[in-house]
Structures are given as C-alpha cells and as structure tokens.
Amino acid sequence: MTKTGKSSGNAKSIIALIGIYALIYFVCSAMFIGLFHTGFLKNMEVLMYRGMVFIIATGLIAAVVMGVIRKFWGFITVRDIIMMFVIFCCVNTVIFTLVPVTVERSVSVFMLSYMDENSDQTFTQQSVGEVFTSKYVEEYGAFEKRFNEQVVTGTIEENGDGTYSITDRGRFIVKMFRTIAEWFDTDRRLVYPNEN
C-alpha cells in the first residue's frame, strides 16, 4: 500500500473513531439524564451523590459499548475504552456540577425564577429578601436540607445529647475550601465566618 493509501486509511479510522466517541457519549449522556426520571436511588437525597453514581454507572456502560465495538473494528484499542470512560465521566461531572447542582442550590436561580413568575410586579431589594427568607429558607427548609446533607456526608455528627459537632472529615473539607478561597481570592467571610 502506498503512503497516500495509508494516510487515507488512517484519516478514515480517525474520523470513524471520533464519530464513535461522539455517538456513545451522546447516547450515554441521554441515559444519564433519563436516570433522574426513574425511581432508581430516589432515597438518596443528596443530588450531588446521586448524580455521581449515575455518571459512573453510565460511564461504565459507555466503556462496555466501546469494548463491544472493538470486537468489530480492530482500530479501537484498550486505551480508547479507558478514554471513553474518563472523558464521559469528566465532561459530565463538570456539566452536572455547574448546571443542575447550581440550579438546585442557587439563591440567584430562586430569586430570578420568583421574579419571572411574578413579572407583573416590581420589587425592592428588601421585598425580594423577605420572600427569600419566608419561602426559600423557611417554607422550603433550605437550611434543614443543607444541614441534613452534612450529617449524611459525615462532615458533622450528632452527639448523645442532641447537639452536633464537626468531624475530622468536616475539618478536612473546611481546610480544602479555605485553600481554594485563597487561591481564587473569593469572599473570605464564607470560610472565616467569625472574621469582620
């Protein structure tokens, strides 16, 4: 075979491989989203944890599918199977944490959504603040939900007398957050609440 013929064959293999990656990624991403509409792991109340389990599960499916395709197309390697899993999990973790997790937790999302649903009105900063406190914090139990998440994740634990204390895991996470806050120069009051 001539060099031109080899180059043409390599180019076709590369294009085919990119197409396979893209097809598997989009199909398994659709499966990942679909899992949230099933009852599977519905008792797992922390959205972040449930999502990560779904990402790993569908990432493994993506790798298995790539492995099956390898039996028919020899140009797919074991490295491609591993890369399929890694790329799928990395990309979907970033998207999941940036969008759905933010939607679930964001004060800004709640505030804008409330104003949109009541767009026939105008608001003052104080009136929006009052709605936030009465609905988001009190009616929706935002604080209780976040507090219970920390118990579930093991960053705080209940003492015998009904009080709670931070655990070693919690201290480690706080230390990590403070380091990140220093790196990216974020608002220090969130990680050092006692500072003025």
Higher pLDDT, 190 or 58: 58
Q: What is the pLDDT of residue 9?
A: 57
Average of per-residue pLDDT values in the chain: 88
Structure tokens at 173: 């996470």
Q: Which of 4-8, 136-140, 155-159 has the lowest mean pLDDT?
A: 4-8
Give the mean pLDDT of 37-43: 86
Residue 28: C-alpha distances to residues 25, 58, 60, 64, 144 (Å): 5, 6, 10, 11, 34
Percent over 70 (pLDDT), the chain: 95
pLDDT classification of 7: cutoffs 50, 70, 90: low
pLDDT at 5 over 80: no
115's tokens: 């104003």
Q: Does the CA dihedral 107-110-112-114 come out positive or negative? A: negative
Residue 103 pLDDT: 80
Selected residue with higher pLDDT from 115 and 187: 115
**pLDDT at residue 105, as a whole number:** 75
